[in-house]
Structure 1
């Protein structure tokens, strides 16, 4: 099946933007999708969408997991497999939302096409946040404004450019109307989770009074990844080059880039534990300082939702919890994506 490049590019962009919005939550967490919200509860997730006719439709699905093995659940090990499974499930939810909203206008992507979309998104992320900052830091060295890759100044430039590219990327994608809508649903997801965690009865009106910022947000996770990567790259790359000194410059830089890509595994593991620690901390000065950068960044990746978007998020929460656990979640009438009659 031929998939136009423009369609593949749109999906790749949506995967990258959605990865900013994936919550690093071990129980009830979520992600904004196209005109809807995905909510996860343990081994299942629910997808709720606002359809073009104004109705809300939802579906409950199994959560694909890489961490059923006890070893992969260990602290400082679980971060990377959780990141991978969140990306896989997020891409599936995003694809399902796009297909449902198209209502037959587009043919569904095959499994290999989904895998290709994910690989394109991961490749684009590596280019933007690993290769480009390294290349710009090398340019600073050539201009006499920074040192060699063995020195600290090179990695300070690398971190500076990484942060700039990250912020610029968020700003650029926010200009797209469909991504702006996703950011509103992101805010609705956060408000609904806050409402649920309060222990009170949850409905759209109550969720509207909650904050759109959440300490376990995937945006905060990515910020922690960037900050930890700056520290580890500055410490470990010079150590690597102390023992591995190729004569050709291009080999040295290629090897350094591969080393940085490999460090994504321990970096994501550390970032996951840090975000969990920050979320569990009692309110106070230390907690405020640790949470502040991520919460400030969420002001760019969330917008205030309207009542209709909050209704969709509440439906997603109810379907993820199920009738028993979701007894205190009050939804508006909605139907299921597999055409089960509407529930009141």
Structure 2
């Protein structure tokens, strides 16, 4: 069985037999919440390319849910639903503007207009540059650095499980904060595949700027599907894993060495996700949703 996870505020989301998020509270206690699972028919998660988009949606859905919940637990302040929806819409709008619309207009301003392959190449390189600059800038903030440490803790915990060792802080310390199935790798693959897919639009003539932007948004599921399949190939065949090297290198920035306290949170989250731990007095377990009707062998495998 494969497991996946994401770093959140003062905690870690883990996907195993259950989907849970563990968060370190201000008083030092670790609180664990079960988030449940959507009722996806497993047959859809077996269809190549389509499963990539479904897995991405699945991971984003629970990632946002866990992020909001972790913010509430760590701050001990309730986040209103309206505020949460506004934050999501704002983030999506900024992402589309910064990584789709702005690069396209900069490319046109630079004079690349007629050759769609050249346009897509320059547009993609600008988008990649924006992403790298964005990651570097946010990595300078202490709160984000803390999330990156939990990201490293998440990877160490998963490595421990995948190597068949008991899930303890002592065992997890020695493992790398880098993992080939990380979402950072997926993003890098996504950005490169997008250049190739967007260049194919030129086979149907030179589109207008509006058409280019719409086509880039519409093509997101296709690019996600292809990127997901490549990510699986890189994990299955280590000899070609060098193709994912850019994403592995970028993980040096998006992960950091965690403290034992942060490793403990990741371990607790994973143990509860795998249902291999009894609830102790030190862990407050609250069921958020008890849905269990999903195939654990076909769930998304992203690591955040």
The answer (yes or no) to whether the contact 2:34–2:286 under 8 Å persists in 1 is no
The answer to whether residue 212 in structure 2 is matched with residue 256 in structure 1 is yes
* Counterpart secondary structure, 1:49: strand
Work out the CA distance in 1 between the residues paired with 2:11 and 2:61.
Answer: 18
Residues 30 and 283, structure 2, Cα contact 8 Å, conserved in 1? yes
Query: Under a length normalisation based on structure 2, what TM-score does the superposition of the two structures give?
Result: 0.88
Task: Report what 1:237 is aligned to.
Answer: 201
Q: Does 1:85 pair with 2:58?
A: yes
Q: Is the 8 A contact 1:50 1:56 kept in 2?
A: yes
Larger relative contact order (C-alpha < 8 A, sep ≥ 6)? 2
Counting matched residue pairs gives 287
Q: 1:178 and 1:201 mapped to 2: Cα distance?
A: 30
Write the mapping of 1:5-24 to structure 2, written as runs, cut at 5 A.
none
Would the aligned equivalents of 1:59 and 1:319 in 2 still touch at CA under 8 Å? no
Match of 1:202 among 167, 172, 191: 167
Distance 1:293 1:82 in 2: 22
The structure 2 residue matched to 1:62, chosen from 15, 36, 41, is 36
Q: What is the CA-CA distance between 1:211 and the residue it aligns to?
A: 0.7
> What are the equivalent positions in structure 2 for 1:1-344 lying under 5 Å apart?
27-42=2-17, 44-64=18-38, 67-68=40-41, 70-103=43-76, 106-110=77-81, 112-141=82-111, 147-234=112-199, 236-241=200-205, 252-281=208-237, 283-284=238-239, 286-287=240-241, 289-323=242-276, 334-338=282-286
Deviates more, 1:151-160 or 1:259-268: 151-160
Alpha carbons 2:189, 2:244 under 8 Å: kept: no
Report the Cα distance in structure 2 between the residues aligned to 1:222 and 1:240, rounded to whole angstroms: 27
Q: Once the 2 structures are TM-superposed, how far is the Cα of residue 108 of structure 1 from its aligned partner?
A: 2.7
Deviation at 1:68, TM superposition (A): 2.0
Aligned-pair CA distance for 1:69: 5.4
Note the aligned Cα RMSD (angstroms): 2.1
| Inter-partner Cα distance in structure 2 for 1:334 and 1:74 | 42
Shift, 1:333, TM fit: 6.4
Structure of higher CA gyration radius: 1
**Higher alpha-carbon deviation: 128-137 or 31-40:** 128-137
Do the aligned partners of 1:315 and 1:332 also contact (CA within 8 Å) in 2? no
Q: Distance in 2 between matches of 1:217 and 1:334?
A: 30
SS of aligned partner of 1:322: coil
- TM-score, length basis structure 1: 0.78
CA contact (8 A) 1:150 1:241 kept: no
Instruction: Show structure 1 runs of 5+ residues with no match.
Output: 1-25, 142-146, 246-251, 340-344
What is the CA distance between 1:171 and its match in structure 2? Answer: 0.6
